[in-house]
């Protein structure tokens, strides 16, 4: 194992960060899972599989937004990002460390929800479907990582958590992640169809055999969404000043 690789070292630093800040890690992991238990397993018992897909999307989206958004903003404030930028650590390695944290969160959230869905929601899927669901949702977190990164670079450290919540919760609701968008009035449904989380959930619903999705369309929406935040990230990175 080449422990002297900066990416591996930054992944390790991120891992230790998660282990050593349980006050951040545990709520981030448990919040979406708790939501799923309330809505998907207690209140709407017949809809456990559907809601597993949508709350899974909700959970990985949150993990991605917060691991990137809040932590980048905090590290800017601490001066840690400044020191890393002044060092020869590759930018890609810095982002890899963060991405690792977000994807680890994502997969742990999906797996916890899946286990609860199987145990208490009577959800049964083929092994390939369980794996695809975890895979789709984990990879689907990537565009939201970029969104979090862009927001973390553009927002002030104090504003970041509030703004992220302001984006996260309505985005989750409007995309039909809490209540299926099919029960929305027509105009709201057409709003949902423009939102990226809707399309990630659509893919999750497809691989679990719940509802067929238009893969080309959904992947295009997610791709364009990721791309636009990649551009914003690049601009935000260039805009960083010495004081940040």
Partner 1 sequence: MDKPLVADCSALHYHYGSTPALAGIDLALYGGRVTALLGPNGAGKTTLIHLLLGVLPVQQGRIELFGSLRPGRKAAQQRIGVMLQASGVQDNLTVAELLALFASFYPEPDSQIGLLDELELVDLADRRFDRLSGGQKQRVLFALAVIGRPDWLILDEPTTGLDPGARRILWRAIEARRAAGVSILLCTHFMDEAQKLADHVVVLDHGRILEQGSPDAIRRRVPSDRIRLRTSLPAVKLETLPAVQSVRVGEDRTEILSRCGIETVRALLAADDSIEDLEVAGADLETAFLALTDSAQPEQEAA
Partner 2 sequence: MKSLSGIILVLVAVIATLLLLPGPIEGNRGVTAVIGVRLFDGERIIQNATLLIADGLVIDADSELAVPEDAEVVDASGKTVLPGLIDAHVHAYGNARRDALRMGVTTMFDMFRSPADQSLVIQQRESLQPTEQSDLFSAGYLATVEGGHGTQYGLPVPIPESPETADEWVNQRLEEGSDYIKIIIEDGSGWSQPLPTLGREMIVALVDAAHAQGVLAVAHASTQSSARMAIEAGVDGLVHLFADEPVDDAFIEQALEAGIWIVPTTPVLAAVHGRPVPDWLVGNPDTARRISKQQRSMLLLGFPGSGMREARWPIVFENVRRLHEAGVPLLAGSDAGNPGTAHGPSLHHELALLVEAGMTPIEALRSATSLPAEKFGLEGRGCLEPGCRADLVVIDGNPTATAESV
Q: Which is nearer to partner 2, 101 or 148 (CB)?
A: 101
Q: What is the DSSP string of 136-160?
A: HHHHHHHHHHHHHHHHHHHS-TTHH
Q: Write down the least CB distance from residue 8 to partner 2, Å.
A: 7
Q: Write down the least CB distance from residue 122 to partner 2, Å.
A: 8
| Cα torsion angle, 28, 199, 141, 109, sign | positive
Instruction: State the binding partner of 88 from partner 2, partner 1, none, CB within 5 to 8 A by kind.
Output: partner 1
- Pair of tokens at residue 74: 């905090």
Q: Does 82 contact partner 1 by CB under 8 A? A: yes
Q: Does 6 contact partner 1 by CB under 8 A? A: yes
Q: Write down the least CB distance from residue 21 to partner 1, Å.
A: 7
Q: Measure the N-to-C terminal CA separation of the chain; round to a whole number of Å.
A: 35
C-beta atoms surrounding 191 within 10 Å = 16
Q: Does 161 contact partner 1 by CB under 8 A? A: no
Considering only residues 125 through 164, tell me which ones interact with partner 2, judged by CB under 8 A: 125-127, 130-131, 134
The closest alpha carbon to 65, from 200, 166, 195, belongs to 166
Q: Quick check: 105 and 63 in contact, CB under 8 A?
A: yes
Footprint on this chain of partner 2 (rule: CB under 8 A): 1, 3, 8, 11-12, 15-16, 19, 45-46, 49, 104, 107-108, 111, 114-115, 118, 124-127, 130-131, 134, 180, 182-183, 185-186, 211
């Amino acid at each position: 194992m080449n422990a002297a690789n900066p990416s591996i070292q930054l992944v390790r630093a991120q891992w230790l960060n998660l282990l050593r800040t349980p006050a951040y890690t545990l709520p981030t992991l448990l919040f979406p899972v708790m939501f799923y238990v309330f809505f998907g397993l207690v209140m709407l018992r017949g809809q456990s599989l559907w809601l597993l897909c949508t709350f899974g999307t909700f959970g990985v989206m949150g993990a991605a937004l917060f691991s990137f958004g809040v932590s980048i903003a905090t590290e800017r404030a601490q001066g840690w990002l400044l020191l890393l930028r002044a060092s020869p650590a590759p930018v890609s390695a810095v982002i890899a460390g963060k991405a690792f944290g977000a994807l680890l969160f994502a997969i742990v959230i999906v797996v916890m929800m899946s286990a609860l869905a199987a145990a208490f929601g009577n959800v049964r899927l083929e092994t390939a479907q369980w794996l695809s669901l975890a895979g789709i949702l984990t990879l689907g977190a990537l565009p939201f990582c970029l969104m979090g990164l862009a927001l973390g670079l553009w927002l002030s450290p104090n504003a970041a958590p509030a703004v992220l919540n302001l984006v996260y919760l309505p985005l989750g609701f409007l995309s039909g992640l809490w209540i299926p968008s099919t029960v929305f009035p027509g105009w709201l449904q057409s709003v949902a169809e423009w939102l990226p989380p809707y399309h990630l959930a659509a893919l999750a619903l497809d691989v679990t055999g719940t509802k067929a999705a238009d893969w080309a369309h959904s992947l295009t929406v997610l791709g364009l969404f990721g791309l636009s935040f990649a551009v914003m990230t690049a601009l935000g990175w260039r805009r960083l000043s010495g004081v940040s």
